[in-house]
Amino acid sequence: GDSVTQMEGPVTLSEEAFLTINCTYTATGYPSLFWYVQYPGEGLQLLLKATKADDKGSNKGFEATYRKETTSFHLEKGSVQVSDSAVYFCALSGLSGNTGKLIFGQGTTLQVKP
Amino acid sequence: DAGVIQSPRHEVTEMGQEVTLRCKPISGHNSLFWYRQTMMRGLELLIYFNNNVPIDDSGMPEDRFSAKMPNASFSTLKIQPSEPRDSAVYFCASSPNGGKNIQYFGAGTRLSVL
């Protein structure tokens, strides 16, 4: 079945460092891909998305490119801030028609130190 | 838009008691999802509804768990009887139909079963 695999955390970086969080997926068909972020004490919120191969999603300085050939959707940011400390979830749209069901990875915790 | 509203935000109860968690989805959204999040198991999809009809409840851990959606603006997740291993953060999310696959999460209910 469809699945998402993320790199294990926690990822600990110093402020202004470059961030990469790896995400690979297994899916039949052509799913949409998403990154969600969960700040402490809050629910998940959409960070960015890409709906077809070679699309690049971007938001708040974060970027991810839908790579069909490598089945990947790695999250990157050029210079992280302490406020980026959160849990990041990669997800893909399931084969459920238009119901909005998503399949989430296990989440990667990012800790940014000043 | 008030977003997805969950209540209560925190619930502390004793083993064996009945617990009811509530969710009001975003108006106009057709799909509603219940998740459970723990450190050990991460984010788990328990059940989801489309147009008030349960579509997939395969994630419901056992018969002690039940969920209802009597109308488009309200859903409940009930645990009876509750056990200490049910302690977790429970999230509700809603999504509009139309292939967008974006889910909007509530702030969650933190449940502690003593």
pLDDT, tens only, B24-74? 999 999 899 999 999 888 899 999 999 999 998 999 988 999 999 999 999
* Rounded Cα gap, residues B114 and B111, in angstroms: 10
**Nearest CA distance, B110 vs chain A (angstrom):** 10
> For A93-107, what is the mean pLDDT?
77
What sign does the CA torsion over A45, B90, A13, A54 have? negative
The reported pLDDT for the residue numbered B102 is 87
Q: Which residues in A75-93 are b (16+ Cβ under 10 Å) and which e?
A: bebeebeeebbbbbbbbbb
pLDDT band at A94 (very low <50, low <70, confident <90, very high): low
Q: For residue B67, what pLDDT is reported?
A: 97
Identify residues of A whose CB sits under 8 angstroms from chain B CBs. Answer: 32, 34, 41-46, 49, 89, 93, 96, 98-102, 104, 106-107
Instruction: Write phi, then psi, for B82 (nearest 5 degrees).
Output: -80, 155
Q: What is the mean pLDDT of chain B?
A: 93
Kindly determine whether residue A42 and residue B107, on different chains, have CB atoms separated by under 8 Å: yes
User: In chain B, at which residue ranges do the beta strands (DSSP E only) sit?
Assistant: 5-7, 10-13, 19-24, 31-38, 42-50, 53-56, 65-71, 74-79, 88-95, 104-105, 109-113
pLDDT recorded at residue B1: 65
Distance CA B30, CA A19 (A): 36
pLDDT in tens, A11-21: 999 999 999 99
The pLDDT assigned to B96 comes to 86
Hey, of A98, A108, A109, which one would you mutate to test binding to chain B, going by the most B CBs within 10 A of its CB?
A98
Say what the pLDDT of residue A98 is: 58
User: Span B75-97, mean pLDDT?
Assistant: 95
Identity of the residue numbered A83: S
Question: DSSP readout, A42-95?
Answer: S--EEEEEE-STT-EEEETTEEEE-BTTTTB--EEESS--GGG-EEEEEEEE-S
Q: Counting beta carbons within 10 angstroms of the beta carbon of residue A73, is it exposed (0 to 12), middle (13 to 18) or buried (19 or more)?
A: buried
Look at A3-17, A49-63, A97-111 and tell me which has the smallest mean pLDDT.
A97-111
Average pLDDT, chain A: 92
* Higher-scoring residue by pLDDT: A94, A65: A65
State percent of chain B over pLDDT 90. Answer: 83
pLDDT at A1: 80
Residues contacting A26, CB < 8 A, separation 6+: A1, A2, A3, A4, A71
- Nearest CB to A101; choose among B4, B48, B98: B48
Q: How far is B78 from chain A (nearest CA, A)?
A: 20
> Distance between CA A6 and CA A41 in Å, rounded?
22
CB-CB under 8 Å, A44 with B56 = no
What integer pLDDT is reported at residue A97 of this predicted model? 58
CA–CA separation, A65 and A74 (whole Å): 7
* Nearest CB neighbour to B43, from listed A42, A100, A107: A107
